[in-house]
Chains A and B, each alone.
Chain A
Amino acid sequence: MASYDHEVIRDLIDGQLPWQSTKSMMSQYKDDDRFFKYIDILQERVVFNDPILLPIGEHLYIVAKKSEPQGERVVKCSCGYEFGHYTHNWKLHAVINVRNDEEAVAEIYPGRHSYDPEWMEIREFICPGCARLLEVEAAAPGYPIVFDFLPYLETFYRDWLGKELPAEPRRD
């Protein structure tokens, strides 16, 4: 079974590995020890010490809080901004910029590339802590915000990874 060291995986996820090596890794059987090496690499890159349990996007992680309530599983941005418990939609705690007028549309989609802001809007979900653009939704006006991903964390750790999740304090 394939296994790669941290350096290779670091370059791979950054798109820095030469294409031939990348292609070879994509064509090989996957490395079963990838997940925790990946977590190690991501953990080096964030400003907080809370252990990452699961990445759920670029710069977005479910972590086990070190501060009180200790062990609570919350969503955090790389910058440390906290978006609340992972079972709730993190987007509701972000800030939003909606492109729904001609001028704002034209910044990204000028002229014949434009969409019709009466039929559709671009919603930019931004981290209030570091201003990173975390997710973009293209939706009809009035369409509810999507909760992208609710992982079954316990099942994942216990049944798929064969590890126990750090305990979470009881939530009321």
Chain B
Amino acid sequence: MNEAVENKTMTFKEQLLENDRKFRETGCYAGITALTYREDDPLRYESLHTKLRSMTIAAREMARSISASPGVREVGEMVVALYTPEGDAISLSTGIMVHVHTMSRFIKWMIQNGYEESPGICPGDVFANNDAFIGTVQVPDVMVVVPIFHNDELVGWAGTVAHELEVGGITPGGDVYLAQERFTEGLFVCAEKVGENDELRRDYLIRLERNLRMPIYWMFDDKAKLAANLELRDQVKELIDEVGLDYFKRATREFIEEGRRSQLSRVKQLMVPGRYRGHTFYGHLTEGKPGILPLGDENLLYSIPLELDVGGDGQMHLDFEGTGSWGYHSMNCTPAGMDGGLFVTLTQSMNFEGKVNDGAWLATDMNLPSGTWTNPDRHTVATATSWALLLPAFGIFQRLISRGFVSRGFKEEAFVGQVNSPMVEMGGQSQYGSQFGMAMFECSAAGSGALGIKDGIDNGYVGWNPESDMGNMEVWEQGIPMLYLGRSIAADSGGVGRNRGGTSFTSLWLVHNTDEVTIATSEHSSRVFDNAGMCGGYPAPTAHRHFTVRNSNMKQLIEEQKPLPHSLGNDPHITDLERLVEGDQKEVEGPHIDRPLQSGDLFAHSYNGGGGYGDPIERDPLEVVRDVENGYVTAEIAQRAHAVVLEYDEKRNTWSVNKTATEARREEVRKSRLSKAMPVEDWIESERERVLEGDFVTEVRKMYQDTMSISNHFATEFREFWNLPDDFTM
């Protein structure tokens, strides 16, 4: 018997507090100062971990085949995990690695709030939660957990999360874009006991049936989650019988302590200690849109600065000081959500080996300033589309650690990182005549940032799901009253650079067999970049627009067998919709909040690409021409941004590089850069006047007013940088 397992007589809450005390006193998880089981019999130890991990993976795969939701079946928006009795993650399946610590917060919250006494935590109980202030990222991330008892002793928790495609909010879908306060986000399940005796309660299912536009997704997903949990629970109990309870309890805690140590040592192996800084922005265009309430009726600009301090001990400290206040919009985030962002980044960059668990969380810490969107100081704010801000925020984190990888020599791990992934949400009358609601998850495969040694991933990456999959068009068509006219590579959507950012894609739909479909898209940054490039690479464009054609002549075009549009096309100045279709053309900037569409209308949406790496005129001209030939880059950008001189053979419809002219052109560009540029110190002096006068558009000025008032630290640095008087305000 050892300290980690001798707490049978304590209440769950005492056990949790005791665990925290031991960590504070020893600096080691659960007071485990030596990995004795690992050292004494590594084979037995590793074998246990491998079995637990394979059990979570098997449970997830089983659940995917039970689910009725294409988000889970097609795209794999699910993860299964095993937790200690105190709610610390031991092992996770593949899938959405967001939830290592979000479910942890949920379990701990129940323990801290006296659930042992009421409503009781008993064998066979089922608990659910989608409240981000308790522990999840956003309202559609519904988690279901069951306690694991072994001979009347709580020995752990099995938990599963899936992203639900419809949550019954003010706008249809899962990411409820129009939610401006909690009260319009949809159906909340706040750490509730939703089942007993291994079954979901009928009254809970009735609540789902009566409050969702498309209850089948959430209901079957919950059944799938419960099945996964029960499968995992029963297998874990069998395994405990095999290895012995004391061994199980100590070894699983050693996994977490090992995870903590591994994270620290991996930082020391891959990075360089120091202070890393970066930022990004987010433009929010809602002013005057239908459904915007008075308090939210404004356009907003968010600045998101991040300072990462990597200490000599390998501990990483992330500091979001200087970002903006929470607002009356759906993009606020909670600390649990920020944990989610941390883990999607960590698991793809450092914490990628089998032992993904809460150890890495213990080896990092974050300053999330109270009152900002990262940590709202009231629980009634909306968080339905929290990814909108947290993905750009952790894209910065990805770039900061990549700077460390480049410095240390591990350029193959440098990754300009994730970008936002706008979701198309819709609802109304389905093609079958009934009511429906749906989140289109094809955004699960957009474009990634470039790597330090190669181009980014084209049409196959998002930050939040490492198994990125856009799903089959035919499957999505079964769920929405719209037919795909095409999915196409969006040329020039990756940031230019020596290594190009991955490109995104455009989908174009013909609304079909419905009198009314409302489309409410989410997570778009407009007018500004919410991503960046690295080391001379440029950000990917994210000034987002939607295109619709109402009262179109599509029927006539089809009857006359005339060319149809299949994408927006590669001409950035005119879309194929404008070229080929007649009707009421409209361009909506920012989120698409507009009147419903109906049969015969067209809707086009494009996803995001990633940022570039390195100076674009260092890119191999042959790679540039290959991109032009394959539609990833237009000839216009090849010539302007990469300074490559191309020649087009009309007969063969091929492009080639004029090498001599390209070399001359690049030399011209170098000269032109120097002739156009000015010394930074001179630029600062000239810009200072503009800052002093506050000569900015309203949104920019408001952003400074907000960040300077909420952060003295930012205000001081701002004044120091521009050499402004101490009492300067914007």
Contact = CB atoms under 8 A, between A and B. Distances in A.
Interface string B667-691: 0011101101111110110010011
A95 B680 contact: yes
A8 B109 CA distance: 51
Interface stretch (A66-74, A134-142, A163-171): A134-142
Interface string B409-421: 1111100000000
Contacts of B614: 58
Given A13-B411, A119-B283, A92 B680 contact: yes
Dominant secondary structure of chain B at its interface with chain A? mixed
Given A58-B536, A133-B615, A14 B690 contact: no
Interface stretch (B6-14, B23-31, B693-701): B693-701
Contacts of B529: 115, 120, 138
A124 B270 CA distance: 28
A92 B407 CA distance: 21
Contact of A56 (B403, B527, B572): B403
Contact of A94 (B269, B535, B636, B680): B680
A163 B279 CA distance: 33
A159 to B, nearest CB: 5
Contacts of B722: 142, 144
Contacts of A22: 412, 453-454
Interface string A55-85: 1111000000000000000000000000000
Given A54-B272, A119-B527, A12 B536 contact: no
Nearest to A134: B536
Interface in B601-658: 613-618, 636-637, 640-641
A108 B637 contact: yes
A3 interface: no
Given A124-B677, A152-B273, A26 B412 contact: yes
Nearest to A110: B572
A143 B303 contact: yes
B527 A146 contact: no
B538 A148 contact: no
Nearest to B641: A108
A26 B415 CA distance: 13
B718 A132 contact: no
Nearest to B527: A116
Interface stretch (B61-69, B206-214, B539-547, B558-566): B539-547
Interface in A113-167: 113-116, 118-120, 122, 124-126, 128, 130-152, 155-156, 159-160
B409 A37 contact: yes
A115 B280 contact: no
B535 A108 contact: no
Contacts of B278: 146, 148
B543 A114 contact: yes
A58 B487 CA distance: 36
Given A119-B283, A141-B700, A142-B696, A136 B536 contact: yes
A55 B574 CA distance: 44
Nearest to A41: B409
Given A138-B539, A140-B281, A126 B572 contact: no
Contact of B680 (A30, A55, A145, A147): A145
A45 interface: no
B680 A140 contact: no
A97 B676 contact: yes
Given A13-B453, A98-B683, A133-B536, A149 B690 contact: no
B301 interface: yes
A170 B241 CA distance: 66
A22 B412 CA distance: 8
Interface of B: 268-270, 272-281, 283, 301, 303, 312, 403, 406-413, 452-454, 492-493, 496, 498-499, 527-529, 532-539, 541, 543, 545, 568, 571-575, 613-618, 636-637, 640-641, 669-671, 673-674, 676-681, 683-684, 687, 690-691, 696-697, 699-700, 703-704, 717-718, 721-722
26 contacts: A13-B452, A25-B412, A35-B409, A38-B409, A55-B409, A58-B613, A93-B680, A93-B681, A95-B679, A97-B676, A107-B640, A110-B492, A112-B543, A113-B493, A115-B541, A116-B527, A118-B697, A120-B529, A125-B680, A136-B537, A138-B538, A146-B278, A149-B276, A152-B275, A152-B312, A155-B273
